[in-house]
Amino acid sequence: MYLCGLQKLAMVDYPGKLAATIFTGGCNLRCPFCHNALLVTRLEEAPRLPEAEVLDFLERRRGLLDGVVLSGGEPLLQPDTASFLQKIRDLGFAVKLDTNGCFPERLAAVLEAGLVDYVAMDIKNSRENYPQTVGVPDFDTTPVEESVRLLRAGSVSCEFRTTLVRELHSLQDLTAIGQWLRGAPHYYLQNFVDSGGLIQSGFHGFTAGEMERFAAAVRPFFGQVSLRGVD
């Protein structure tokens, strides 16, 4: 596994659990507002963590942590993700996977093998505006749609989430997403925050009031809609 980061204690990354968050290197998308540019476009500058070192840390935290989050980059980009998740599972941890949904076959494999307990999938924008938002011209949303279908048809707990950027998202986009994901149990709207380590600059978030209005507009489509990154 190409491991680039380890947050030893995460209070909010895994709902309801104390967790460690592991960051993998590399991503197939180039979202211009991505706050993990180091793991996407400047991977050669990122630290490399030995897998054995990370697993040894988790071994020592058995009984102290509830779960482990595998994030990125895009974890499913790597062919050995399933075997790594199995090693974490063997240590007795609950596992949450963060994914962009571009690798439905690999997602299906880890779901069928029972290697994850919770999946958080990014919905970048309305299907019409995906290419601009992910920084990939002519991006085909078919794999993303298949991952949505897999999660909605499965028994593993999941959430869908969208990071809202003033320059990229509109109320019309949010309504289109609501119609696409209609009936999904959990949808989170995350306000963009400039971390200073973006792929591109010049992006802004929304006010708290604007975020509340977005949430109100999509709430009829979902079981629950919540906001993140709003003071």
Q: Does the structure show a pLDDT above 80 at 42? A: no
Q: Does the structure show a pLDDT above 80 at 82? A: yes
The residues pairing with 5 across neighbouring beta strands, listed in sequence order, are: 23
Q: What is the pLDDT of residues 163-212, one digit of tens each?
A: 999 999 999 999 999 999 999 999 999 999 987 778 788 999 999 999 99
Mean pLDDT along residues 119-146 = 97
Mean pLDDT along residues 61-90 = 96
- The 3-class secondary structure across 146-207, one letter per residue, is HHHHHHHHCCCEEEEEEEECCCCCCHHHHHHHHHHCCCCCEEEEEECCCCCCCCCCCCCCCC
Percent of the chain with pLDDT over 90: 86
CATH architecture classification, 3-228: Alpha-Beta Barrel (3.20)
